[in-house]
Amino acid sequence: MTTPFHLTGKVAVITGSSRGIGRAIAETMASLGAKVVISSRKAETCEEVAKAINAKGGEAAIIPCNISRKAEVEALVAKTRETFGRIDILVCNAAVNPVYGPLANLPDEAFDKVMGSNVKSNLWLCNLVIPEMAARGDGAVVIVSSIAGIRGTGVLGAYGISKAADFALARNLAVEWGPKNVRVNCIAPGLVKTDFAKALWEDPANLAARNAQTPLRRIGEPHEIGPVAAFLASPAASFITGQVIVADGGVTIA
């Protein structure tokens, strides 16, 4: 039997893939046969990832992009097509969180930055890429959201609002493009040991408290999220669309 857990011959664009969850997604997809585009704001931060993938026999290209700038988003898509000829998989992973504290103290500029980078840029990317997928009758989009979009928080409100909006974005795009066999899903990771979330896990007391509230008694690692994204992009998930897949060690059900 041929395994459905493969991405042979597919071209995947992964934003925010120079480190953390994005890097894990790129490495996993490359190991399953995809040609991957490593993208972050600066090309030099992507070099280590691409070099490691290519050294293992994979195929990775570097195309820098600041996802908050529409011209750079358009260039990312155009240069990917120039390099690999097509885009089969889009992973919207890049995100920002410039503020920490209650919503009562949230500056308008910070809210606009969070929503622009975490939601609007995803819509830009999808609108640029999905029509091509629809024309071929096949494609997959994975938006990396967060359980912050499911649970209330006293300190990450704007981020949580943006991540909840990503759920709605995925559902609406799934409805619009499902008839053309384009699937759109979200992953909602819990706390994962990344630099992005360092403020939430580097303090031993905070980490111990979080572990005590989590059924698996630990936080996640980036390599545990990469395969979830790869699964959603693969033929193994061909009947899954518009869904939010939670990967949080069970913390939201405890």
Please give the positions annotated as active site. 159
CB 91 within 8 Å of CB 12: yes
Tokens at residue 63, please?
A: 């195309």
Query: Which among 135, 117, 245, 227 is positioned nearest to 184, based on CA atoms?
Result: 245
